[in-house]
Amino acid sequence: MNTLKALLDSGMFKLGSSDVVKALAMAVISGAVFPIIAAVQTPNFSITNVNWDGVLVLAINGAIIGGVSYLVKNFFSTNNGAVLGAFGAPKTPTV
């Protein structure tokens, strides 16, 4: 029973309003970065010869991936940032 209480108090499996705002910021950044990366990697890239439909689709996909992945990461993280309660937890010094 103490394990369940500790799990619930850890903040894991919870999302706050700040998480949603940060996820929206990640969505905007990802939506802008994905097409830029794709354009840089395109051979013989020319700004006059751009498939704007493809750029739009890539931006939308990037925004969805960035925002949702941020929410999933925070949903499975504790208050101190440890993913699944173990990975990335701050180390306590042992004497």
| Span 38-74, pLDDT tens digits | 888 888 878 787 788 888 999 999 999 999 999 998 8
**Residue 6 within a domain:** no
Domain count within the chain: 1
**Residue 56 within a domain:** yes
CA distances from 51 to 38, 54, 60, 72 (A): 12, 5, 15, 32
* pLDDT band, residue 30 (cuts 50/70/90): very high
How deeply is 67 buried, as exposed, middle or buried, from its count of CB atoms within 10 A (0-12, 13-18, 19+)?
buried
What domain range is 46 assigned to? Answer: 15-75
**Residue 10 within a domain:** no
**Residue 49 within a domain:** yes
pTM of model > 0.85: no
**Residue 60 within a domain:** yes
**Residue 89 within a domain:** no
CB 31 within 8 A of CB 65: no
